[in-house]
Chains A and B, each alone.
Chain A
């Protein structure tokens, strides 16, 4: 059983999806999906234990050894990402029952859960696999499922958002496919480890550079790096709240994992940073994203859209950390990956509560909510403080590491701009705080009750995690440093 863990991680959600179809009844499906998620979470914890005990786990599918067969390869980085994805998806699902009944017609709820499980399968598959082509396939599995989830929103604009995401997502995935094809053309292998060994021999050819460029642009489309982020705000704003929580917290993070895996493990640090001006590209685009997306966020009237733009700027921080190209920078990226998932889950879950009671996420509807829904608004505020990077929250820890890394490599003007980004974050969080706590409730408003407990408790789990990991950084910082070292170590 233990040696099959890497494949079980992906197979369980994959098989759960068609079983939902057989179960049909929404309440039944809900519990079944939750159980499958808890199992996936348990497996990811066991995987991390195994990795800590035995080092990298290699699983050959169907007993075919690596260069011929497909292998799943789990090291610390993969195990960390698997835990992140499964834990967030499990806690999010606890809130799904109430939230979905409000936002989606009864008859479609089962289909939503099916799409959710397929999306989870895709994300876990991307992380677990050690085969470049498999990454593409799982990427498309997760993307197709997320287009479906987004299209289920109760606003007709969700259809349009989903369509735009489909076009841009498919272009991104096709670019990745071209990149992989060109790599295969030069090396004759698709296995990531083999690629890492064989690429240095041909690394001066134009084909490899072209492959890298296509791959980079494709992945950056998927992770919504600043000028390629256009699909993200609408997709997050008009999707059902639960889908927003899940996608905001995991999908872009997994895309960043793919980027890191290929930059550091497959192509190697030497190729990516010494031969190519990757530092300049990633740092400038990351910085541009941080500043521009934050400014756009300030002017949003739809709060979900506001936080979607804030996601774009936070992705900028992660890319910035990667672009510095030092161990501390990479540690900051890994930390922020984890921390941003916690912040955005807390905020979007609390917003799901607001949608449940108020039915609108327009900023005007927030008037007086600070008194009527104190716990829900407190969750948004604490999540917001974390986005700003106030001490004692996780946001502070990751920003601290990022500024540290920037100062280490003598990029202090960039560090100043990062701090300005935090001020901009303060501006858009303050807008919500002002409306919610200092404006009187609208005259015709009936008073709203607190969000239901089944949404509030998961949201507060994330809020408490935000504070806990902000104070006790030993787990997150420790494992981030470990993975950063692992990525710099290259192939082992």
Chain B
């Protein structure tokens, strides 16, 4: 098995790690969410690539074809995509509200303001 034979998994890992890195490393809340989206998308690609049957066609009933790709992961991932969209939408909505409340979407500024607030409360 050569290194490039299963290149689809390498793409998935690359995307997953870059998405994860963006979530951890960036302080901008919107960028974090974009990283999260990339991270989730890589899993969608993982699901879709495992359903591929070599030489198989789309899963449509026809006498000509006998080998189909597995349709189930596609259906599953459709659900997961919807979940991902909902999460991103909610996250962006929260970012808007945070911008209204704190006047910024930078993580370090928010934490600083929180610390000040806690300091003044005591």
> A residues near B, CB below 8 A?
133, 136-137, 140, 144, 147-148, 151, 156-157, 159-160, 162-163, 166-167, 170-171, 173-174, 177-178, 181, 184-185, 190, 301, 362, 364
Query: Which residues on A sit within 8 Å (CB–CB) of B73?
Result: 181, 184
> CB-CB contacts of B93-108 with A at 8 A, as 1s and 0s?
0110110011000000
Task: Report which of B40, B83, B94 forms a contact with A166, defined as CB distance below 8 A.
Answer: B94
Q: Contact at B94–A171, with CB atoms within 8 Å?
A: no
Q: Contact at B87–A166, with CB atoms within 8 Å?
A: yes
State whether A156 and B101 are in contact (beta carbons under 8 Å apart), knowing that A167-B36, A174-B40 are contacts in the complex. yes
Task: Report which of B40, B83, B97 forms a contact with A137, defined as CB distance below 8 A.
Answer: B83
A165 nearest in chain B by CB position: B94
State whether A181 and B90 are in contact (beta carbons under 8 Å apart), knowing that A160-B98, A163-B98, A167-B36 are contacts in the complex. no
State whether A133 and B98 are in contact (beta carbons under 8 Å apart), knowing that A140-B87, A167-B23 are contacts in the complex. no
Q: Contact at B94–A159, with CB atoms within 8 Å?
A: yes
Kindly state the separation between the CA atoms of A178 and B77 in the bound complex, as whole angstroms. Answer: 11
User: Does B8 make an interface contact (CB < 8 A)?
Assistant: no
Q: Contact at A178–B43, with CB atoms within 8 Å?
A: yes
User: Does B17 make an interface contact (CB < 8 A)?
Assistant: no
Kindly state the separation between the CA atoms of A159 and B117 in the bound complex, as whole angstroms. Answer: 15
Task: Report which of B20, B43, B80, B122 forms a contact with A301, defined as CB distance below 8 A.
Answer: B122
A169 nearest in chain B by CB position: B87
> CB-CB contacts of B32-53 with A at 8 A, as 1s and 0s?
1000100110010011001000
Grouping DSSP codes into helix (H, G, I), strand (E, B) and loop, the A interface class, with mixed when no group exceeds half, is helix
Query: Which residues on A sit within 8 Å (CB–CB) of B114?
Result: 157, 160
Kindly state the separation between the CA atoms of A148 and B87 in the bound complex, as whole angstroms. Answer: 11
Q: Contact at B46–A178, with CB atoms within 8 Å?
A: yes
Q: Contact at A177–B90, with CB atoms within 8 Å?
A: no
Query: Which residues on A sit within 8 Å (CB–CB) of B86?
Result: 140, 144
Chain B interface size band reads: 20 to 34
Q: Contact at A171–B39, with CB atoms within 8 Å?
A: yes
Q: Contact at A159–B97, with CB atoms within 8 Å?
A: yes
**A131 CB to closest chain B CB, in angstroms?**
11
Kindly state the separation between the CA atoms of A151 and B100 in the bound complex, as whole angstroms. Answer: 13
> B residues near A, CB below 8 A?
20, 23, 29, 32, 36, 39-40, 43, 46-47, 50, 73, 76, 79-80, 83, 86-87, 90-91, 94-95, 97-98, 101-102, 110, 114, 117, 121-122
Grouping DSSP codes into helix (H, G, I), strand (E, B) and loop, the B interface class, with mixed when no group exceeds half, is helix
Residue among B46, B73, B94 with max Cβ neighbours from chain A (10 Å) = B94
Query: Which residues on A sit within 8 Å (CB–CB) of B40?
Result: 170, 174
Kindly state the separation between the CA atoms of A301 and B29 in the bound complex, as whole angstroms. Answer: 28
7 contacts between A and B (CB under 8 A): A136-B80, A144-B87, A156-B101, A166-B94, A174-B39, A174-B40, A301-B122
How many A-B Cβ pairs are below 8 Å?
74
**A227 CB to closest chain B CB, in angstroms?**
15
Query: Which residues on A sit within 8 Å (CB–CB) of B46?
Result: 178, 181
Query: Which residues on B sit within 8 Å (CB–CB) of A162?
Result: 94
Q: Contact at A185–B29, with CB atoms within 8 Å?
A: no
Q: Contact at A177–B87, with CB atoms within 8 Å?
A: no
**B15 CB to closest chain A CB, in angstroms?**
12
B50 nearest in chain A by CB position: A185
State whether A147 and B43 are in contact (beta carbons under 8 Å apart), knowing that A137-B83, A157-B114 are contacts in the complex. no
**A134 CB to closest chain B CB, in angstroms?**
10
Pairs of residues from A and B, 7 with the lowest C-beta to C-beta distance, nearest first: A156-B101, A140-B83, A163-B94, A185-B50, A159-B98, A159-B97, A181-B47
**A144 CB to closest chain B CB, in angstroms?**
6
State whether A170 and B97 are in contact (beta carbons under 8 Å apart), knowing that A181-B47, A181-B50, A362-B121 are contacts in the complex. no
Q: Contact at A177–B43, with CB atoms within 8 Å?
A: yes
Kindly state the separation between the CA atoms of A190 and B47 in the bound complex, as whole angstroms. Answer: 13
A151 nearest in chain B by CB position: B94
Q: Contact at A177–B80, with CB atoms within 8 Å?
A: yes
Kindly state the separation between the CA atoms of A178 and B73 in the bound complex, as whole angstroms. Answer: 12
Kindly state the separation between the CA atoms of A136 and B87 in the bound complex, as whole angstroms. Answer: 13
Kindly state the separation between the CA atoms of A151 and B94 in the bound complex, as whole angstroms. Answer: 8
Query: Which residues on A sit within 8 Å (CB–CB) of B29?
Result: 163
